[in-house]
Amino acid sequence: MVSLTFYGGVDEIGGNKVLLEDDDARVFLDFGQSFTMGCDFFMGWLSPRASNGLGDYFEFGLLPKLKGLYAEEQLQFTNVPYVKPRFDAVFLSHPHFDHVSHIQFLDPEIPVYLGEGTKLFLEAMEKTSSFCNYKEHRYRTFRTGDRINVGNIVVEPVHVDHSIPAAYSFLIHTSEGTVVYTGDLRAHGPRKDMTEEFKDKACESEPVAMICEGTRMIEVERRKNYSEQQVKTLSDKVVSSTDKIVFVTRYSRDMDRFRSIYNVAKNNDRKIVVSPKTAHLLGRLVEDKRLDLPDPLKDKNILVYYKRKRSGDFEEKDYYVWERDFMEKMVTHEFVHKNQGKLVMDLNFYQFAELIDIKPMQGSHFIHSMSEPYSEEDIEDEVMHNWLNHFKIQFHQLHASGHLNRDQLIDLTNHIQPKKIFPIHTENQQLFKKNCKGIQTIESGKEYIL
Ligand SMILES: [Zn+2]
């Protein structure tokens, strides 16, 4: 008997936690944190206390009380007794927060399977973010083409195109047939061929079920979405038509976007200025040759921006040990100010105070290469525009989504033709029902037998 239980990603975008059971094999597909988790009870600095382990999460039902899943230390202050692991493995589809973050609570004895690139991302994040600690695990890395046996099931990872490298879908071969888990995916990025490959493989497996993401299963798209190639072309237009500095803000781990902006800068004889954090991430990702990313230490087109810290004199001791690796590539606000027309600079919202020191010329440019705000009352968006207006910087919205749109999702389900479809990672299960055959809508914590 094969069953599926959804502990996250139900009626919301992200937070996937799917339990698949087949006889004595029990595996989780992703173990992420919801973007809105606990927002009825926690906000800003009022957050679950790490010192109380899972106690604060169980209080509000934010994580399922399953025996044999969590680490002993996490259960210390709860009424759930610790028992040896009753789960065989957790498979991570890709390194985004909403798919991996809650592995920090898992029993370290439970193996965590993940792509080799995903492991590099997790390590880089732990090193450079004080709030990131995934804890110890028995990590096992995989690549496309591997077949992983867990009890009587076989899990086959298949790479897909998404807004972060090392993204996979899974074909899970069970006693009742193949279950497809899409993970998150798109078909308009530079590696759309990988998504095509996945579609064909999934179709050939004649699946009994598909757990399908539906981020963009929406009636009307209000936000403008380009393909990655269009983002590159339009960014090039901005950069090539000005002699002033161009700032870019993007998702820090979207390496397709980094590559696009890097190439735009290079094609326009400009250097790209990145943060030490991005330099560190690049330094780790060059270990994976297939990602084909530039080495921040060797590549002459990359400069690393150091903010003034502590002494204010850019001394080595002012910076974290991991930040010091790139000091030979250091540029400061003075350099950026003097060389504005020769640079494209990564600048995220939380670094905007640097503009005070950089003193950009009037009429400089800012490319917002991220999603548009969800609501018109987005405070961060308002503050961002206040800053841009203050410095008389021109705003450009250029972004490519990490997800299939509605028509592509319908096309995906028509192509693969699974007997049943479980919509996950979506706020619109009903629209799936309207548009696709074999939809089984899901409720949190309910078991579905295949
Ligand atoms: Zn996601």
Residue 201 C-alpha to ligand 1 middle, in angstroms? Answer: 22
- pLDDT at 377 (0 to 100): 81
For residue 142, give both structure tokens.
């995989």
Residue 376: pLDDT band (50, 70, 90) is confident
Residue 425 C-alpha to ligand 1 middle, in angstroms? Answer: 7
For residue 105, give both structure tokens.
């609570």
In the chain, % of residues over pLDDT 90: 93
- pLDDT at 155 (0 to 100): 98
End-to-end CA distance of the chain: 7
- pLDDT at 290 (0 to 100): 87
Residue 146 C-alpha to ligand 1 middle, in angstroms? Answer: 23
Q: What is the distance between the alpha carbons of residues 19 and 221, in angstroms, rounded to a whole number? A: 31
Span 57-83, average pLDDT = 96
- pLDDT at 221 (0 to 100): 87
Q: Above 80 in pLDDT, residue 91? A: yes
Residue 96 C-alpha to ligand 1 middle, in angstroms? Answer: 6
Q: Above 90 in pLDDT, residue 117? A: yes
Higher pLDDT, 350 or 131: 350
Q: What is the distance between the alpha carbons of residues 97 and 108, in angstroms, rounded to a whole number? A: 19
Residue 274 C-alpha to ligand 1 middle, in angstroms? Answer: 25
Span 330-365, pLDDT tens digits: 999 999 999 999 999 999 999 999 999 999 999 999
Q: What is the distance between the alpha carbons of residues 271 and 340, in angstroms, rounded to a whole number? A: 10
Residue 253 C-alpha to ligand 1 middle, in angstroms? Answer: 13
Least confident range from 56-60, 130-134, 228-232, 403-407: namely 130-134
Q: Are 422 and 29 in contact (CB under 8 A)?
A: no
Span 276-287, pLDDT tens digits: 999 999 999 999
Task: DSSP for 301-320, please give it.
Answer: TEEEE----TTSS--GGGS-
Residue 310 class from Cβ within 10 Å (0-12 exposed, 13-18 middle, 19+ buried)? Answer: exposed
Residue 217 C-alpha to ligand 1 middle, in angstroms? Answer: 14
Residue 426 C-alpha to ligand 1 middle, in angstroms? Answer: 10
Q: Above 80 in pLDDT, residue 375? A: no
Residue 162 C-alpha to ligand 1 middle, in angstroms? Answer: 10
Span 215-256, pLDDT tens digits: 999 999 888 889 999 999 999 999 999 999 999 999 999 999
Q: Above 80 in pLDDT, residue 374? A: no
Span 127-156, average pLDDT = 95
**Quick count: other Cβ atoms within 10 Å of Cβ 135?**
13
Higher pLDDT, 436 or 377: 436
Span 322-337, average pLDDT = 97
Residue 98 C-alpha to ligand 1 middle, in angstroms? Answer: 5
Q: Which of 246, 73, 254 shows the shortest CA–CA distance to 163? A: 254
What's the Rg (C-alpha) of the chain?
A: 23
Residue 329: pLDDT band (50, 70, 90) is very high
Span 305-321, pLDDT tens digits: 999 999 999 999 999 99
Kind of pairing between the strands at 365-369 and 394-397 = parallel
Q: Are 123 and 284 in contact (CB under 8 A)?
A: yes
Residue 99 C-alpha to ligand 1 middle, in angstroms? Answer: 6
Span 182-213, pLDDT tens digits: 999 999 999 999 999 999 999 999 999 999 99
- pLDDT at 109 (0 to 100): 98
Q: What mean pLDDT is reported for the chain?
A: 96
For the chain, counts of helices (H) and of strands (E):
13, 20
Span 94-101, average pLDDT = 97
- pLDDT at 289 (0 to 100): 87
- pLDDT at 389 (0 to 100): 98
- pLDDT at 205 (0 to 100): 98
pTM: 0.95
